[in-house]
C-alpha cells in the first residue's frame, strides 16, 4: 500500500517525528517549489524553517500559560503619558530582558492603581517571549501556598519547582501582613533566589514600612539586603489610573 501511496507512510513518519507544520505544509510547499524550480535542499529548508518558527511560537504560548499571569497585560496597552512618574526609558530597557540574564531584581514601588502590576506582567510576558521561564504570584498567594506545602510535607519539591524559573514576580507586597512563619518562608524564597533567579516585586510600601508586613526587623533587613543588592528601583507616584478612569466615566455620564 505504501508503494501506491507513499504519502500515507510519510504522514505517519512526520507524525511520529512530531513535525506537524511540515505535515500540514509539505504538499502545498512542494507545488510552490516546483513552480519556482527550487532545489530540493531549498524545499527542505523552507519547511524546516516553518516548523521551527511554529514550534517556538507554541513554546512561548506554553510559557505564558504556565507563568499564570492574572490578566494578560503588555506594554502596548500601557499609557506612559497617563503616568509620567514612571521612567519609560528604564522600563523599555528592562523589556529587553537582560536583567534576567544578569540575575538582577526589579522593584516597582508606588501608590495603588499606578500600573505596577500591569508593568510587572508586561515585563514577565516579554521575558516569556524571550524563551525564559516565568512565574507570577501575588505575594499573599505565594505565602499561602508555601504554608500549605509545608503542612503537606511537599515544601522541598515546591521550592525546587520555583528554582527552575528564571524570573519570579511577587505582586503586591504590603497589603496583608504575614504571620511569623509566613514571613520566614517568604524570606527563604527570596534568599534562595539571590543571584540565581530574578525577582520583580511590586509594593505600595516604602522600605521603612516593610517591617510592618514582615514582622521582624532582623528578617526585613536580611530580605532587603538580598533583594536590593542588584536592583532596578522604579517609582510610580502619580494618581491612580483606576480612579482617574472612573472619574472620567462619571463625567461623561453626567
Ligand atoms: P497597581 O498594581 O499599581 O495597583 P495596576 O497595574 O493593577 O496598578 O493598575 C490598575 C488598572 O489600571 C489595571 O487594569 C491597569 O491595566 C490599568 N492601568 C494602570 N496604569 C495604566 C496606564 N498608565 N496605562 C494603561 N492602563 C493602566
Ligand atoms: Mg497591583
Phi-psi domain of 120 (left: phi exceeds 0; alpha: psi -120 through 50; beta: other): alpha
On the question of pLDDT at 245 being above 70, the answer is yes
Are residues 238 and 81 in contact, defined by beta-carbon separation less than 8 angstroms? Answer: no
Closest C-alpha among 128, 135, 203 to residue 169: 135
Tell me which ligand sits closest to the C-alpha of residue 136: 2
Ligand 1 atom closest to 80 (CA): 23
Question: Residue 108 pairs with which residues in a beta bridge?
Answer: 202, 234
Closest C-alpha among 217, 155, 145, 208 to residue 180: 217
Encode pLDDT of 224-235 as tens digits. 999 999 999 999
On the question of pLDDT at 81 being above 90, the answer is yes
The pLDDT value given to residue 254: 65
Ligand 1 atom closest to 120 (CA): 6
Enumerate the domain spans of the chain: 6-61, 68-246
Tell me which ligand sits closest to the C-alpha of residue 171: 2
In percent, how much of the chain has pLDDT > 90?
A: 89
On the question of pLDDT at 4 being above 70, the answer is no
In percent, how much of the chain has pLDDT > 70?
A: 98
84, three cell numbers: 509620567
Please tell us whether the domain made up of 68-246 is placed in CATH 2.40.50.100.
no
Q: Which of 241, 246, 247, 249 to mutate to test the pocket of ligand 1 (most atoms within 8 A of CB)?
A: 241
Distance 113 CA to ligand 1 centre (A): 5
On the question of pLDDT at 2 being above 50, the answer is no
* 97 exposure class (CB count in 10 Å sphere: 0-12, 13-18, 19+): buried
The pLDDT value given to residue 212: 93
Mean pLDDT of 91-108: 98
Amino acid at each position: 500500500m505504501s508503494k501506491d501511496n507513499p504519502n500515507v507512510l510519510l504522514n505517519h513518519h512526520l507524525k511520529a517525528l512530531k513535525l506537524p507544520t511540515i505535515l500540514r505544509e509539505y504538499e502545498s510547499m512542494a507545488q510552490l517549489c516546483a513552480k519556482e524550480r527550487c532545489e530540493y535542499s531549498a524545499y527542505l529548508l523552507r519547511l524546516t524553517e516553518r516548523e521551527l518558527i511554529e514550534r517556538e511560537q507554541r513554546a512561548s504560548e506554553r510559557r505564558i500559560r504556565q507563568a499564570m499571569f492574572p490578566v494578560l497585560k503588555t506594554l502596548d496597552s500601557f499609557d506612559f503619558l497617563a503616568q509620567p512618574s514612571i521612567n519609560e526609558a528604564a522600563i523599555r530597557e528592562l523589556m529587553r530582558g537582560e536583567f534576567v540574564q544578569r540575575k538582577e531584581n526589579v522593584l516597582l514601588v508606588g501608590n495603588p492603581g499606578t500600573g505596577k502590576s500591569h508593568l510587572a506582567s508586561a515585563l514577565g510576558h516579554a521575558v516569556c517571549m524571550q524563551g525564559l521561564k516565568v512565574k507570577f504570584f501575588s505575594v499573599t498567594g505565594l505565602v499561602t501556598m508555601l504554608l500549605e506545602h509545608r503542612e503537606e510535607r511537599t515544601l522541598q519539591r515546591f521550592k525546587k519547582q520555583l528554582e527552575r524559573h528564571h524570573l519570579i514576580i511577587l505582586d503586591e507586597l504590603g497589603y496583608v501582613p504575614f504571620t511569623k512563619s509566613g514571613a520566614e518562608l517568604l524570606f527563604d524564597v527570596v534568599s534562595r533566589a539571590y543571584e540565581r533567579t530574578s525577582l520583580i516585586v511590586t509594593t505600595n510600601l516604602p522600605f521603612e514600612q516593610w517591617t510592618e508586613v514582615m514582622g521582624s526587623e532582623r528578617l526585613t533587613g536580611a530580605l532587603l539586603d538580598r533583594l536590593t543588592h542588584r536592583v532596578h528601583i522604579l517609582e510610580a507616584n502619580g494618581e491612580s489610573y483606576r480612579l482617574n478612569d472612573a472619574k472620567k466615566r462619571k463625567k461623561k455620564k453626567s
